[in-house]
Amino acid sequence: MKRGEIRVCIIRVGGTNCDAETKRSFEDLGVKASIYHVNEIFRKRELLAEHQILVFPGGFSYGDYVRAGAILAKTIMARIGAEIKAFIDEGKPILGICNGFQVLVEAGLLPGLNGISQYPEAALATNVPSGYRCMWVYLRHENSGKCAFTWLIPRGAVLRMPVAHAEGRFVLPKEKDLFNRLIGNDQIVFRYCCENGEPAEGRFPANPNGSFYDIAGICNPDGTIFGLMPHPERAYYYWQLPDWTRMKNPPRYGDGKLIFESIIKYVMKKF
Partner 1 sequence: MRGELYIKRDMPFDLYEINILEASDNDLIKISEEMGLALNLEEMKAIKAYFSHKGRNPSDVELQTIGQTWSEHCYHKTFKGIIILPDGREIKSLFKTFIARATYELNKPWCISVFEDNAGIIRFERDYGIAVKVETHNHPSSIEPFGGAATGIGGVIRDILGVWADPIACMDVLGFGPLDYDYSRLPSGIKHPKYIFRGVIAGIGHYGNNMGIPIVNGAIYFDESYVGNVVVYCGCVGILPISKYVKKAKAGDHLVLAGDRTGRDGIHGVTFASLELTEKSEEVSRPAVQIANPIEEEKLRRAIIAVRDQELATSITDLGGGGLSSAVGETAYKFGCGAIVNLDKVPLKYTNIAPWEIYISESQERMLLTVPEHNLDRVIEIFRSEDVEATSIGRLTGDKVLRIYYRGHIVAEIDIPFLFSPPVAKRHARIVKPKLNEPHLEKPSDLTGDLLRILSSPNVASKESIVRTYDHEVKGNTVLKPFCGKNNGPSDAAVLKPLDDSWRGIVISCGLNPRYGKIDAYWMAASAIDEAIRNNVAVGGRRISLLDNFVWGNPEKPDRLGSLVKACMACYRFAKGFGTPFISGKDSLYNESPLGPVAPTLLITAIGIVPDTRRIVSMDLKEPGNLLYIVGQTYNELGGSEYYRLKGYLGRNVPKVRLREAKRNMRVIRRAIDRGLVRACHDISEGGLAVAAAEMSIAGGLGLEIWLKHVPYAAPIRREDYIMFSESNSRFLAEVPESSREEFETIAKGVRYALIGRVRKDELFIIYGLNDEPAITTDINELCNAWKRTFPWG
Distances (CA, A) of 213 to 11, 61, 112, 161: 30, 27, 18, 18
Interacting span for partner 1 (CB under 8 A) from 62-70, 80-88, 100-108, 118-126: 62-70
Residue 231 bears catalytic tag: yes
Under DSSP, the state recorded for 154 is P
Q: How far is the CB of 265 from partner 1 (least distance, A)?
A: 22
Closest CA to 21 of 265, 267, 260, 268: 260
Q: How far is the CB of 138 from partner 1 (least distance, A)?
A: 14
- Distance (Å, rounded) from C-alpha 183 to C-alpha 249? 39
Catalytic hit among 9, 98, 147, 193: 98
Residue 51 bears catalytic tag: no
State the binding string over 196-215 for partner 1 (x if CB under 8 A, else -): --------xx----------
Q: Collect all residues with Cβ–Cβ distance below 8 Å to 123 and sequence separation of at least 6.
A: 67, 105, 170, 171
- Distance (Å, rounded) from C-alpha 208 to C-alpha 130? 10
Report phi then psi at 125, rounded to 5.
-85, 175
Per-residue burial over 238-269, b if 16 or more Cβ lie within 10 Å, else e, is eebbeeeeeeeeeeebbbbbbbbbbbbebbee
Strands, E assignment, the chain:
7-12, 32-37, 53-56, 94-97, 123-125, 133-141, 158-165, 169-171, 188-193, 215-219, 225-228
What size, in residues, is the chain?
271
- Contact pick of 51, 169, 234, 257 for partner 1 (by CB under 8 A): 234
- Contact pick of 63, 115, 173, 184 for partner 1 (by CB under 8 A): 63
Residue 165 bears catalytic tag: no
- Contact pick of 1, 3, 5, 24 for partner 1 (by CB under 8 A): 24
User: Which is nearer to partner 1, 174 or 246 (by Cβ)?
Assistant: 246
By CB under 8 A, residue 30 contacts partner 1: no
Strand-pairing partners, residue 164, are 134
User: Which is nearer to partner 1, 196 or 245 (by Cβ)?
Assistant: 245
Q: How far is the CB of 105 from partner 1 (least distance, A)?
A: 20
State the binding string over 161-190 for partner 1 (x if CB under 8 A, else -): -x-x--------------------------
By CB under 8 A, residue 60 contacts partner 1: yes
Query: What does the binding site for partner 1 look like in residue numbers (CB under 8 A)?
Result: 14-18, 20-21, 24, 37, 39-40, 58-60, 62-64, 129-135, 162, 164, 204-205, 233-234, 236-237, 239-240, 242-243, 245-246
Residues noted as catalytic? 98, 231, 233
